[in-house]
Amino acid sequence: MGAVVVDGGARYFRAGISQESKPNVMITSSIGVQGGDNAKKTVGSVSLAEYQNDLCIKDTIVRGKVCDWDNWEALMDFSCSAMFRGEKSSHRFLLSEGVESTQKERDRAAEIIFEKFNASGLFFINSAPLSLFACARNSGIVLDLVSARNFNLELLTLRFLRVKI
């Protein structure tokens, strides 16, 4: 089986198997939370659309950065359950990351992936080359619009030139 490719954006959270042509799971990145200490988490676009008493919708990813790791873990759990139907074998993961990702964020994601999901391997890739690969290209220009800041990433033979606009 191919690697599990995860692309968590501010609007949608996508996950799928690398050998397939489209994501197996595409859900909103927001999570519904009910209750206090032992909060019930509601994941998935359909579940969030239903009316539920005292449901508070929280963003998991804001401006390309994970702002709530517990909710990110719930999104991963939902996605893996949907893709593998409860199967707990080890998989390799490829996680896309934003332009401004830090080592601390990578460490936290790796901790969750290896401990919770029993991963056999993990690779982080910037979202710019992932966008080019999705279009069957290995060179080009990707304009990544992140909130009020723009980053122009030019990818030439897989080398990055970072320019702040």
Record: fold of 4-126: Nucleotidyltransferase; domain 5 (3.30.420)
What crossing angle do the helices spanning 69-84 and 103-117 adopt, rounded to 10°? 40
Sequence-separated (6 or more) residues with CB below 8 Å from residue 14 = 6, 7, 8, 23, 25, 26
Q: Is the pLDDT of residue 137 over 70?
A: yes
Average pLDDT of the segment spanning 3-7: 90
pTM above 0.85, yes or no: no
The Cα diameter of the chain in Å comes to: 52
Which pLDDT belongs to residue 114?
93
- Which is higher by pLDDT, 140 or 46? 140
CA distance 61 to 63: 7
Token reading at 134:
């999705």
Of the candidates 74, 80, 75, the residue with the CA atom closest to the CA atom of residue 93: 80
pLDDT score of 163 = 57
User: Residue 58: pLDDT above 70?
Assistant: yes
pLDDT at 34 over 60: yes
DSSP E strand stretches across 39-116 = 40-42, 56-59, 61-62, 65-66, 92-97
Using the predicted structure, report yes or no on whether residue 157 has a pLDDT greater than 80: no
* pLDDT score for 46: 66
What is the rounded distance in angstroms from the CA atom of residue 141 to the CA atom of residue 72? 29
What tens digit of pLDDT does each residue of 62-82 get?
A: 877 898 899 899 999 988 888
